[in-house]
Structure 1
Amino acid sequence: MKKNTLKAILFFLILSFLPLNAASIIKKSKSDICHAPDTEYYSRTKNFTLYDTLDQCLASGGRLPKGQSYTSQPKPKVASETSGKYSRDEFGRGWADEDGDCQNTRQEILISLSTAPVRFTNDRECRVTFGRWISMYSGEVIFDASKLDIDHIVPLKWAWDNGADKWSKEKRERFANDPANLVAVEASLNRQKGAKGPDEWLPPRNQTQYKARFERVWRTYR
């Protein structure tokens, strides 16, 4: 028995044991033509490579027979962990206090960035009131903590719109509280910046440093 005949017999035996929807299997001939089961030369094609779908056959370098056209089938959408709409809560409910010492991320950033000893509201040392901070955005020296915002250099919404919507909730919370992405600056400049990236907004001072920090965080989290 010739090899080609044997191959054809084996192929149709396999098809007979497959589910009905497997009959949509595609043959790619040696001349790289993709033949679907309902086409004229499907049964005549003896030397072939099998593909599950016509899309796969075409993607492998195959082509349609002359005179035939085909519209690629859309890929099914994968359900995401979130609704797709940005919400601050997707990055955790406010600042985290991971070590449980009553100083959340905001307070810890104020403490670490102050160039002088800080003062607190009470003996528990939970909330910073005064210190000495040099704003990276303006170069101004600020003493009153209430006049400072802790800004995300890569804004949360910007991150969400550029891929963070696909992250796990744990990764988003880690990102929102990462000191590498946080800086103490004037509330007015933080709100002026909003959710803009460096292509839309740059601080009045230290623009090169700002762009370098932005890129560093972006590269870390992709």
Structure 2
Amino acid sequence: MSFNLRLLLVLCLLSAPAHALVKKSSSGLCHDESSRYYATTQHFTAFNTLDDCLRSGGKLPKQAKSQSSSQVAGYTREKFGHGWQDVDRDGYDTRQEVLMSQNTGTLVFNSKGRVIHGKWISFYSGQVFTDASKLDIDHVVPLSWAWKHGADKWSQEKREQFANDERNLVAVEASINRSKGDKGLDEWLPPSNQQQYKARFMRILKLYGFS
């Protein structure tokens, strides 16, 4: 083997990641080692963590999005009501109410009265967003987590109140919200404002009488 060929092989080995903990496929899906597509994903960008991959604009595979909540016995989103409600009957559902109350800029509405632009500072990362479509409204204490920690014994009315309680809701980027899933404090913390997040999580537990 010539010297130039040996040098080329060494450079290739040095430039290749020793172990891709998370692979972002060419289609933008983030696969960690629990994904069934991890081994077969050959063309990818490597990330150290799933959060890093999601923050880069990646998405979870469909089966990963539903995996955690589907494993909670008896839980369905409908147990907490059918989506966001217009609690005070003013024409704005809970998503719109949160976007309006947590906005720090000038709100812009579309022809149907829905918020499309404003200024929001993510509680989870500190990043600023102006496009409402980039934001999820996250339950600080997740619904399926609540279900398996006592909400399964609540009345339907109390569960719907919990799902629409603005004290438990934050407007944050979709990527971080989806990396959180239904995890509790022992499994997940946001990149920023961790102490405030813990305090808010515990406040909600106290308000709703979780053990």
What TM-score range do you get, normalising by the shorter chain?
A: 0.5 to 0.7
Q: CA deviation at 1:151?
A: 0.2
Distance in 2 separating the partners of 1:207 and 1:100 = 34
Counterpart residue number, 2:85 = 96
Query: Which amino acid in the other structure matches residue 220 of structure 1?
Result: L
Q: CA deviation at 1:173?
A: 0.3
Q: CA deviation at 1:101?
A: 2.6
Runs of 4+ in 1 over 6 A off after TM superposition: none
Counterpart residue number, 1:189 = 176
Counterpart residue number, 1:143 = 130
Counterpart residue number, 1:116 = 105
* Secondary structure of the structure 1 residue equivalent to 2:170: strand
Counterpart residue number, 1:131 = 118
Pick aligned residue for 1:170 from 154, 157, 160? 157
Distance in 1 separating the partners of 2:181 and 2:150 = 18
Q: CA deviation at 1:102?
A: 2.4
Pick aligned residue for 1:107 from 96, 102, 120? 96
Distance in 2 separating the partners of 1:117 and 1:177 = 24
TM-score by length of 2: 0.64
Unaligned runs of 5+ in 2: 1-72
Percent identical across equivalent pairs?
63
> For residues 165-193 of structure 1, what are the alpha-carbon distances to aligned partners after superposition, in whole Å with 9 as ceiling and x for unaligned?
00000000000000100000000000000
Query: Which amino acid in the other structure matches residue 96 of structure 1?
Result: Q
Deviates more, 1:161-170 or 1:101-110: 101-110
Q: CA deviation at 1:100?
A: 2.6
Query: Which amino acid in the other structure matches residue 85 of structure 1?
Result: G
Counterpart residue number, 1:221 = 208
Distance in 1 separating the partners of 2:164 and 2:174 = 18
Pick aligned residue for 1:202 from 170, 178, 189? 189
* Secondary structure of the structure 2 residue equivalent to 1:157: helix
Counterpart residue number, 2:34 = none
Counterpart residue number, 2:61 = none
Unaligned runs of 5+ in 1: 1-83
